Structure 1
Amino acid sequence: MTGSAPQARTPLPGRPVLELRNLTRTHGTGPAEVHALCGIDMAVQPGELVAVMGPSGSGKSTLLTLAGGLDVPTSGQVIVEGRDIAKLSRRALAGMRRRSIGYVFQDYNLVPALTAAENIALPRELDGVPTRKARAEAMDALAELDLTGVAKRFPDEMSGGQQQRVAIARALVGDRRLVLADEPTGALDSRTGEAILALLRARCDAGAAGVMVTHEPRYAAWADRVVFLRDGTMVDQTLTARAEAQLAAEEPR
């Protein structure tokens, strides 16, 4: 991952990895109707990490589930690498999620019957990677996160922080062009949280696009851009100091 992230495929000029076009998600009808997202427009370029912030119930997690093809918008489009995922067959969408999209769930979502190493290797094996190669990649990912000691443990034999790091390793292993992370540092101490953000940052620097939900400004500072949601609406977005410094360094003198 940090030291062994795969070489990113060269993107088409000017084409974002992820585009959300007038994205709306409504739950319920009548008096019980809830507008989780209201006309969101957002594009994430290769190499860019975007942090999404906002109060509870602002639509942050809904945005991620729609971007990852785990839910269907009420209206609008989700475009991943130029493909409208609503137009994909269930089989094609499942293949895209395995190959191109890494998703870090807030509740880890590990398979209880599989060990840590098996959980990480599973998406690769489902995509046809030979078992021996997939397991070797999983062990490399665990080593990078200082987790080789839990390789043979099942989720209920690991702490919450260990499960979170295994989930992150699973999301980053392989050639994932889009990484979606819902509070990826929630169960981690500050030092480990910083290490996880360094991994996400390295994957984006290698050419992937990343979207991360966080409530911590210190973690959002690792991003290039911060998007603020409130009541399902994008109310503001701003470049981080990191991105501003990089742009200043690239300006001709």
Structure 2
Amino acid sequence: MSDQVLQLRNVSRTYGSGVTSVGALRGIDLDISAGEFVAVMGPSGSGKSSLLTLAGGLDKATSGEIFVENTPLSSLNINELARLRRQAIGYVFQDFNLVPSLNAVENVSLPRELDGVPVRKARRQAMDALRTVGIEHLAERFMDQISGGQQQRVAIARAIVGRRRLILADEPTGALDSATGDGIMEVLRNRADAGCAVVLVTHEARHASWADRVLFLKDGRIIDQAAQSFDPASLLGQPAS
């Protein structure tokens, strides 16, 4: 695959300075193509979440360059970066980052409306996304009226609404039961199969097995990566065709 959606070139991220500095990422080189599902694994503190926040333009690299669809993130001002995130990048945060004063469909439609999509069209797209994750019946509920697992699915719907080219998911199944988690993994897999680049941070091998490739991080470095032959039947407990 030659259609590169995400590229990292010698990317490092250091927090603090002097003797107290901590190197979260160290010289990362990475290419992820359209239609590719990549899982990132590693011990706590290995740099997994830092990788996602840099790829999503939520933090800046100390050195190196990050490209999303061939655009260097360092070349964008605040407004341009916000526009890129709304239009091209879907992000699933560990803590959801939902707006409590908005109901589920409003949370999902908000980035589309901010990008100038008419309200009725944005709501239709949001309902489609909620339907995809199985909670369209909760569209009018506020965040304090639904469970943590349901909030997580609202956050996933927000990440996939519209025509996102890059989906970044940080432990997106953490608050979900096993069956619902598998359903979310199938949603992400389908997005990759439809042409998105998907990056999943997970500590569960069973979820990483949905990916085409698994990266292993340790101490801020990619220490290994393994390509996989994806077989959805084996993961869904069905006989292979």
| TM-score of the pair, normalised by structure 1 | 0.89
Instruction: State how far apart, in whole Å, the 1-side matches of 2:132 and 2:86 are.
Output: 22
Deviation at 1:145, TM superposition (A): 2.1
Confirm or deny that 1:234 pairs with 2:230. Answer: no
Instruction: State how far apart, in whole Å, the 2-side matches of 1:85 and 1:202 are.
Output: 27
Kept in 1: contact 2:14–2:25 (CA 8 A) = yes
Number of aligned residues? 231
Instruction: State how far apart, in whole Å, the 2-side matches of 1:16 and 1:227 are.
Output: 17
Deviation at 1:156, TM superposition (A): 1.7
Confirm or deny that 1:106 pairs with 2:88. Answer: no
Kept in 1: contact 2:133–2:187 (CA 8 A) = no
Deviation at 1:148, TM superposition (A): 2.2
Query: Structure 1, residues 191-248: CA drift from partner, whole Å, max 9, x if none?
Result: 01111011111111111101100000010010000000001011000012428xxxxx
The equivalent residue for 2:192 is 204
Q: Could you say what the CA RMSD is over the residues aligned between the two structures, in angstroms? A: 1.1
Instruction: Find the residue that maps to 1:109 and give its secondary structure.
Output: coil
Query: Structure 1, residues 85-134: CA drift from partner, whole Å, max 9, x if none?
Result: 11111111110000000000010000111110000000111111110011
Deviation at 1:15, TM superposition (A): 3.6
Instruction: State how far apart, in whole Å, the 1-side matches of 2:3 and 2:138 are.
Output: 40
Instruction: State how far apart, in whole Å, the 2-side matches of 1:116 and 1:39 are.
Output: 39
Which of residues 5, 29, 38 in structure 2 aligns to 1:50?
38
Identity %: 61
Instruction: State how far apart, in whole Å, the 1-side matches of 2:84 and 2:92 are.
Output: 16
Which of residues 123, 136, 140 in structure 2 aligns to 1:135?
123
Query: Structure 1, residues 165-186: CA drift from partner, whole Å, max 9, x if none?
Result: 0000000010000000000111
Instruction: Find the residue that maps to 2:230 and give its secondary structure.
Output: helix
Amino acid of the structure 2 residue aligned with 1:153: R
1:208-227 superposed matches below 5 A: 208-227=196-215
Instruction: State how far apart, in whole Å, the 2-side matches of 1:240 and 1:108 are.
Output: 29
Instruction: State how far apart, in whole Å, the 2-side matches of 1:212 and 1:142 are.
Output: 20
Q: After the TM superposition, which parts of structure 1 deviate over 6 Å for at least 4 consecutive aligned residues? A: none
Instruction: State how far apart, in whole Å, the 2-side matches of 1:39 and 1:109 are.
Output: 29
The equivalent residue for 1:182 is 170
Structure 1, gaps ≥5 residues long: 1-12, 244-253
Instruction: Find the residue that maps to 1:207 and give its secondary structure.
Output: coil
| TM-score of the pair, normalised by structure 2 | 0.94
Deviation at 1:143, TM superposition (A): 2.1
Amino acid of the structure 1 residue aligned with 2:6: L
The equivalent residue for 2:132 is 144
